[in-house]
Structure formats: C-alpha cells, structure tokens
Structure 1
C-alpha cells in the first residue's frame, strides 16, 4: 500500500513539474522564434532599403543624362542660328531660356500629369518650329480622361528630340509629328526621312526612355518602325 501511495505521489509530482516546466519551455521556444522572425524582418527591411536607395540612385543617373544633353544640343542650334539668322537666334534664345526653366522645374518631378507633359511638349515643339519652320508640322489630340492620368516626366521631350536627331528636316523634307492617346498609352508617330549617317545609332535615347519608364510600371514601351513611319507608345500611369 505504501508503495502504491509513493507511486501515486511520484506521478503527481511529475505532473506538477510538467505543468510548470512545459509552459516555461514553450515560452522560451516562442521567444526564440519571435526573436528570429524579428531579425529576419530587420534584414529584409535593410535589404529593401538598400534596393530602394540603389533604384533611386540609378533612376537619378538616368535623369541626369537628359538635362545636359538637352542644353548641349540646343546651344549648338543657337550657335548656328547666330551666324545664319541673328534675329531668329534672339527669338530662339528667349524661347530656349523659358523652356529650359520649365524643363528644370519638371525635372524635379519623376511623374507628372499627362496634361502637364503635353503642355511642356507644346512649348518644346514651338521651339523646334522656330528652328525648322515649314519643315516641321505637328498635331496633338489627347482626350480629357487621359490628360488627368500620369506619365514619366520629360519623356515626350526625349521622344521629340529623337525624331529631330534621326530625320532630315527642312522645307524640302517635311516631317509631321502626331501625338495621340490610345487606351493606356500616349502615342507619338512621325513619318521618316532618315539622315544619311554612316555610323549605326547607339539607341541610348530609347534605352534611357525604356529604363526610366520601367521604374514605374511593368508595361513596356512599344515601338513600330517601317521604312516610312516610326511610332512609339509610352505607357500611361493610372496613379502616382
């Protein structure tokens, strides 16, 4: 009987220790798991922050390529005009100054309203019209709904500069540019009168456009090119 009583007490003691120690052990395991998860979360945040900073740096580098390029090209034009047509050079200089001021303002924003980008494009096209006169024509037809959406800033200026870069434009070779909206794209189309260039194009301008847009959307830049026509479709963003 004593042996049975002693055995019952041992079982009771074992159960008491089990009840006390199991929650304690469970709490230790739980704390270890929480600590591990917090450390993993911290590492993930650090990694994402580094990725974000790297992406911002890469994007800024792409943007930094635009402003000097824009200014350099147009200063070259101005220099030529000073020799050929001083009066026209003065007008071009004034317009360039106003546009570059606006350009710098827009450049501080990564994404802008389509309407703002179109207004900037109109200013730039007017500058090109001063330069090429009857050699360049353009039309713009954007619906109101699209105008209230968003697009990567100064992207149209890059596209228009690409048109000028690759085509012969004068009173005998007239280039027409048409800017429209289609579904989720802004479409820029022009007829082609290619310049005679012995060196193959580096296509850095188009690559810059593609990379800049890729930071904000998975939609890709769509390009159609034939012997007579060039069309580029730029993705429109629904929100910022």
Structure 2
C-alpha cells in the first residue's frame, strides 16, 4: 500500500500519522511544494493521500502558483473516490477544490480547545467524533462546506471543523496529528501569530506538558485513520 502526502512547509509534517502508517505497512512518499522542484504522483499509484497544513492561504495562487496544480489533483482524487485526509490548509484546499470559498474566520483559533462531534449521523456511515474532544488548533481561516459535504465536527470558535464527502474524503480544520515536537515547531516558526485573544493561547499554555490530551486526541486520530484505511482495503 502506498501513502502519499502533500507538504507545504518543512516544519509541518505527518506527526503521529507517520507512526500509524508504518505500523500498517504503508510505503510513504511525498510532494514537497516548498522545494524548487517537485513532482506530483500518478493518482493510480497511491492508495491514500494526506494533505498537510501550512501558513499560506488557498487564495494565494499568485504567490504560490503550485496551488492550482495541487487543487486540481485533489479535485480528481475526490472525484474517483481516493481515500484522502486534509488537515487545516489541507481541508481548506479540499473545500476550495470543490468550489467552496475560503476566507478569514471571525477569530483565530490557536491552542487547545474542544470540538464537538455532530449527532444524529450514525446511520449515514460517516466517521463519528466523540461529543466533545480537546484538540490542537492553529488557523485563522475557515471555509464554506463544499457541495455534498457533511459536517461532522464543530467548535465554539469555528463551525466547520470537520467534514466528510462520501466514505473516503475527510477534511479536518484542527490538527489531530500534533505531537509535542510538532507543537513546538509551530510555536518556533509561527510565534508572531500568538496575539492573545478569546481563542488564542500563549506559548506556555500551548506547550504545557500534558500527555493525557495528546493520548486522547491520538486515539481518535487512529480511529479516523482506521476508518480511511478500511476504504483502502475494501473500497466502495
């Protein structure tokens, strides 16, 4: 099985996803858009696509021309039912690739805040989040739900936290993949965004040693990855 990930900046990587992929026996390849030269894979050659986050906006095509190619690849992947997970910018790219608008959220959401799983969806076969789960956030933009998408999680600061299209495409505004190392990397590289607000924590709060919240969040990440893995091994 081949997992491929799209990476937009060096300091945002697979985090806890990498450990799960290797345990499942996936080979891992990447497209690093920040490198002077990059290549996109053949869609037929990959079984699972993961689109990571980044500080740029999906609307920055003039500054980052590769966004056009990336969005078209994502659109094709969703169209053929390829299992895909988009994280933060990745979810925004998925939404925008399908025609939805991406724009500044009313407030930035940076740090540890709960998301709420949407109730009453169990018969649809969609992924089910817990009623409440404390997760890691780092974003200033949000998106409209694309056509055909189902909302599966929200937060107080941002209604569209997670959506699903069919059985194989899931977009997450939050960062379930975050490890302590990954959180430190974001603080180190994006500290200018830590302007305190109702949903922006300071670096000390963000980096406080709390293994329990990483473990709880990571357990739900594994459930989500297992859900998508099932689409890889038994596609609809």
**Do these two structures clear the TM 0.5 threshold for a shared fold by scoring above it?**
no
Bigger relative contact order (CA 8 A; separation at least 6): 2
Report the structure number with the largest CA radius of gyration: 1
Which structure shows the bigger proportion of residues in strand conformation? 2
TM-score calculated relative to the size of structure 1 = 0.27
Which structure shows the bigger proportion of residues in helix conformation? 1
